[in-house]
Structure 1
């Protein structure tokens, strides 16, 4: 596959999805390929390249999890141990849950914690400590180990565990455990470091035009779950490490091959989700056209990053873009093109069945997590789904929060099931399902691995 063809594809996709800048890195059987298009910012434009830093959002979680795997091999962390072994003062909304949740349950999102808790505890070295002290405010959605439901707050809690067992800040620990030995010199949690290199700004595209998203990244307490910034070149190095045997390019062993590869072994199944068939240790696992893949994606303030690794083909691709709502569908389109043209793997969305008024009436309404409300509506014989940050949180926030996801068409995937797919709009391609109680009534909606409870 020629570099020119890849370059042409990403330029076309960027134009199609109104993305100002895109950077792509590919590793395939010993060869690195990079392509970039567009600019870092519409206000102060610089050309995007392979070393341009983008914010990664939740792709950060793979670094937090890998650091804990290394610490576990060093005997400093036990995944089966309760979190209170390392954080004795942990308090949650339910005492039994606080006493029971384990490190492993946080790693695969089965601890029963709600999604976010966007609490700003400042930029000091005590930011995570103060955040964890406030976790008794967080809603609990299930008993520990009962089900998987994606939790940003859970990974921020893991960051505090890393601080407790290393005796230093989360950011310094990740730098010493991962960045320095792997040569990730364009990876940072701090804007003051990122600004010494070329970096991308997020954008929000509306009918009025394209505007820079502010602030640039989440506050410090969110760093373990979504605060890393990095470049395509560094993310290809990161993928190569996970394709390897636990050693750096210089031969230094960071972790055993067995422990590293165990991260991509399924620990819990995910039902009806486009982000994966199951979860390993952090990684989302998905079969594409018969090939096993693992990876993670993320978003933050108008920037989107996705990393997909296909071990049997010694292949990885990372895509970073800098605009919403087009960033996620643009990333997916580029990844699907690369999987097909490099590996012959075809990844297509299933087609929904025809609209049914009775089924639509059973699911319409509002569904909540701590930060957002999802609304399923019937618009003249057409089911739609929209996701919006709660107005009271926008009113209380001192910074601009991410844009809402406007309505997109939703369709059921079978005549007699509750699984669905979104076929247009910012969440196009997302799959999920409606959960029912013992009486058969719909009680919750699952979207992007998260449980939204019916209001």
Structure 2
């Protein structure tokens, strides 16, 4: 693939989605190629390149999980052991769950924990303080019963790392995986970020104009409690090195079989854009007959995607700095790269025609700890809107990302409970509705998270 063709595509895609800055990297058969377009910030523009730092958000989880795998390989952690072996002070809303949750349950999101705790401004912002508040986090399923993506679960894993190593999470992960993998520009502290060129996130105001996103990471500055699940900052160049590490033999850091175990399915995912299942942290997805592993992240006006195709020795990274368009922008990059470099084509399934009776059956409000999801009938279509709870937004003394406005969705062929979103910033996202023993709709999965139904349409 000529460099010029990749560069032209990246420039056109950034313009199409109105993203100020987009950085892309491709790894194929050991060769790296980069293309970037745009600027780090609309207010203080500098050119984006492969060394520009972006907030990775949930891609951070891949570092946290690999650090746990190294500790397991060294015999310092047992994946099937109860988390309380390492964090005995852990208390949850369900005592039985607190006793049973294992390290592996946290790694593959089967602990039954809700998404996350919202920073309340109390405490010192440490992981210890975060864990001390976990009794306030809803337990939404029996441990091991199903997958539901949990930021809180990975933050708890960060505390496991601290307790086992005697180091801060950030120092431990740096020593365990970042330095051995050769990632000099993957950092956590904003003091380290400002020493390098970095991208500013952008969100749209009520008039649709892009403005700088604050706070930079999307959570209160100085709060370390979310670092294991989403606090890393990195560049396209470092992420391609990370992909090389994941495709290699462990480099003496951990055995090759430990890396390969992370790619093996541990739990199935149903009708999810994220993938067909979880390995250990990685989303596993088959695209046009080819197996991929990957992880994405969404911060405050910044979006990150890392996708690896082990059998083809291939990886693609996309980092962008505008919300909500950054998500579909990055997805467009991944699809184009798979098709043009590997001949692998991904197509969204077509939804069924609108069915009013089925639409009314699922309409209503669904919630997790931080967000409301509203499904409504609107003329001859079904729509989905999701946003931060108003009371949380009102109580915050920092800016928060904007909500996702109502966008059309449609049911997919099959049992009638699977859907796809067909427009807006969440276009292409798939999920499903869950039911109780009597057939009543009780929840909806979006982006791997279970939102429980709390009310019917008024």
Q: Which residue does 2:54 correspond to in 1? A: 54
Pairwise CA distance, 1:362 = 0.2
State the match for 2:71 in structure 1.
Answer: 71
Alignment-derived partner of residue 112 in structure 1: 112
Tell whether 2:395 aligns with 1:396.
yes
Q: CA deviation at 1:417?
A: 1.7
> How far apart are the structure 2 equivalents of 1:174 and 1:122?
26
Helix, strand or coil for the counterpart of 1:9? Answer: helix
CA contact (8 A) 2:20 2:42 kept: yes
The Cα offsets for residues 171-211 of structure 1, whole Å up to 9 and x where unpaired, read as: 00011111211221111001110110000010013434110
Q: Distance in 2 between matches of 1:187 and 1:147?
A: 32
CA–CA separation in structure 2 for the residues paired with 1:123 and 1:89: 17
Q: Following the alignment from structure 1 to structure 2, what is the Cα–Cα distance between the partners of residues 266 and 148? A: 12
Whether the 8 Å contact between 1:61 and 1:155 is mirrored in structure 2 is yes
Query: Match for residue 44 of structure 1?
Result: 44
Aligned partner of 2:437 in structure 1 is: 438
Between 95-104 and 111-120, report the one with greater CA deviation. Answer: 111-120
The answer to whether the Cα contact below 8 Å between 2:123 and 2:129 also exists between their aligned partners in 1 is no
Deviations for 1:288-336, whole angstroms, at most 9, x for unmatched residues? 0000000000011000000000011110001000000100000000110
Q: Do 1:18 and 1:205's aligned partners in 2 also have CA atoms closer than 8 Å?
A: no
1:12 corresponds to: 12
Instruction: Establish whether residue 243 from structure 1 lines up as the match of residue 243 from structure 2.
Output: no
Q: Is the 8 A contact 1:122 1:220 kept in 2?
A: no
Counterpart position of 1:30: 30
1:141-175 per-residue CA deviation (whole Å, 9 max, x = no partner) reads: 00111110000000000000000000010000011
Which secondary structure state, in structure 2, belongs to the residue aligned with residue 221 of structure 1?
coil
Q: State TM-score, norm by structure 1.
A: 0.97
Question: What residue in structure 2 maps to residue 151 of structure 1?
Answer: 150
Q: What's the Cα RMSD here?
A: 1.1
User: Which structure 2 segments of 5+ residues have no match?
Assistant: none
Q: Distance in 2 between matches of 1:208 and 1:298?
A: 23
**In structure 1, C-alpha distance between the alignment counterparts of 2:170 and 2:322, rounded to whole Å:** 27
Q: Distance in 2 between matches of 1:360 and 1:229?
A: 41
Q: Are residues 356 and 82 of structure 1, via their aligned partners in 2, closer, same or farther at CA, if it must alter by over 3 Å?
A: same
Do 1:106 and 1:158's aligned partners in 2 also have CA atoms closer than 8 Å? yes
Secondary structure of the 1:182 match is coil
What residue in structure 2 maps to residue 227 of structure 1?
Answer: 231
Do the aligned residues in 2 keep the contact of 1:412 with 1:421 (CA within 8 Å)? yes
User: SS in structure 2 opposite 1:22?
Assistant: strand
Contact 1:121 1:131 in 2 (8 A): no
C-alpha displacement of 1:398: 1.7
> Structure 1 122/39 Cα, relative in aligned 2: closer, same or farther at 3 Å?
farther
Give SS of 1:411's match: strand
| 8 Å contact kept, 1:54–1:320 | yes
1:347 aligned onto 2:342: no
| Corresponding position of 1:424 | 423
Q: Distance in 2 between matches of 1:76 and 1:204?
A: 43
